[in-house]
Amino acid sequence: MKEQILERFIKYVKVDTQSEFAVDKIPSTDKQFVLAHQIVEELKSIGMQSVEIDKHCYIMATLPSNTDKNIPVIGFVAHIDTSPDFTATGCAPKVWPDYAGGDLILNEAEAIVLKTKEFPEMLQFKGQTLITTDGTTLLGADDKAGVTEIVSAMEYLIQHPEIKHGEIRICFTPDEEVGRGADLFDVEKFGAEWAYTMDGSLPGEIEYENFNAAYAAIDIQGKVVHPGAAKNKMVNSMTIASELILALPAAETPENTDGYEGFYHLVSNQGTVDKSELRYIIRDHDQQKFEDRKAYMQQLVDQLNEQYEQRISLTMTDQYYNMAEKVRPVMHIVDIAKEAIENLGMKSITNPIRGGTDGSRLSFMGLPCPNIFAGGLNFHSRYEYVALESIVSATLTIVEIAKIMEQRQW
């Protein structure tokens, strides 16, 4: 099973599925279809039913019930795209069997090293098989580990009909990394009472709280004048941009916050004298604090516009909200996942997600959707890695959830 899962995961991460911000179509990149069509054929080959892909790159499929019991239909969801934060082109995965502990030299020529001093979580995987890249791309365990786990679990259940289970629906979405993975998700067609996203991190994690999230696009129009005659005439858009950046609380950034603490995160800064573009993401677990953060951003822009003759435009778009509001009334769905994790000998861990998943939005669309660990760490970076054993454990967690569902009285 481990070898099959490793082969499947390596095959998936070698396909570039990077999504893009600010593209007015779904999927935002056509290359996501390449992996999607491969997955469709694979689902058919392992025996999944009602396998389909729509024109927007959403894949759905069914594992029919093999029991006479009346069991709620549940679902599992993962996304096929990878983050725009770091390149995914030419991913060259490296496998490190029987990790001995200590640093890993990802790329000797470019002196790229995965260091335990910077990432001490590595040491808990001593003796396991780690998968990294060569340091020049991200890996894509976010969320191709999740895709691997769902496909592998479905294959396992099909190959072991002695394991009784109810109907299971699965869906793989595009564009989750740019906040649009749930935009065209057909909850009614999916037909599950609840679902689980396989998009978490450390083994044992089950999450049902996440950030409220917004995306802020700030455009600043300067005025170009020859520097020799610029006095009292030139308006340097980058100077205005710098003022805005420095006016936001320096301690409220991702690198300075943890747990339930929110932040402002500058994800892109491009400029010339004539025009500058700032792109921010705004995050907070608390709904009121989230609204306050957006209001403060608007207030800053309004103040600078008074000073600089209305040269700044701000467009803020809410991306998703804290799913806890929708999951807490049906906490048995979290309890089932915890039971599955603990049945496999792991300790269940409940932490707030410092980000979001498709499940964040799906929960508000009528499909409560907690998040289960997928195993990867250091997402969105050249230092991303995953332990093969974590992918196997997540696969077995899905199988165990199916068992528990069949054993309960509904």
The answer to whether residues 20 and 114 belong to one domain is yes
pLDDT of residue 356: 82
The answer to whether residues 46 and 190 belong to one domain is yes
The answer to whether residues 55 and 188 belong to one domain is yes
The residue among 154, 143, 190 whose CA lies nearest residue 356 is 143
Structural domain count, the chain: 2
The CATH number given to whatever domain includes residue 234 is 3.30.70.360
The answer to whether residues 202 and 271 belong to one domain is no
Provide mean pLDDT across the span 37-64. 98
Task: Say yes or no to pLDDT of 33 above 90.
Answer: yes
Provide mean pLDDT across the span 297-307. 98
List of E strands, 128-181? 130-132, 168-173
Domain extent at residue 312: 214-320
The CATH number given to whatever domain includes residue 398 is 3.40.630.10
The answer to whether residues 206 and 219 belong to one domain is no
Task: Say yes or no to pLDDT of 276 above 90.
Answer: yes
The answer to whether residues 360 and 401 belong to one domain is yes
Question: What is the length of the chain?
Answer: 410
Task: Say yes or no to pLDDT of 280 above 90.
Answer: yes
Tokens encoding 237: 């858009």
Task: Say yes or no to pLDDT of 59 above 90.
Answer: yes
Whole-number Å distance between alpha carbons of 115 and 30: 35
The answer to whether residues 93 and 13 belong to one domain is yes
Catalytic residue among 16, 81, 143, 384: 81
The answer to whether residues 34 and 125 belong to one domain is yes
**What are residue 54's phi and psi, to 5 degrees?**
-95, 180
- Is 121 marked active-site? no
Domain's final residue, options 290, 320, 350:
320
The answer to whether residues 202 and 249 belong to one domain is no
Task: Say yes or no to pLDDT of 355 above 90.
Answer: no
Amino acid at 78: A
pLDDT of residue 385: 98
Amino acid at 64: P
Domain's final residue, options 320, 336, 369:
320
pLDDT of residue 250: 96
Task: Say yes or no to pLDDT of 357 above 90.
Answer: no
The answer to whether residues 12 and 103 belong to one domain is yes
pLDDT of residue 222: 97
The answer to whether residues 24 and 43 belong to one domain is yes
Task: Yes or no: say if 167 and 399 are a contact pair by the CB < 8 Å rule.
Answer: no
Domain's final residue, options 270, 299, 320:
320
pLDDT of residue 22: 83
Burial 252-263 (b: 16+ CB within 10 A, else e): bebeebeeebbb
Whole-number Å distance between alpha carbons of 172 and 179: 15
Model confidence, pTM: 0.88
Provide mean pLDDT across the span 144-172. 98
pLDDT of residue 129: 98
- Is 81 marked active-site? yes
Catalytic residue among 175, 176, 205, 209: 176
The answer to whether residues 290 and 174 belong to one domain is no
pLDDT of residue 247: 97
| Mean pLDDT of the residues in the chain | 97
pLDDT category at 319 given cuts 50, 70, 90 is: confident
Whole-number Å distance between alpha carbons of 338 and 161: 24
Task: Say yes or no to pLDDT of 20 above 90.
Answer: yes
pLDDT by residue (tens digit) across 69-115? 999 999 999 999 999 999 999 999 999 999 999 999 999 999 999 99
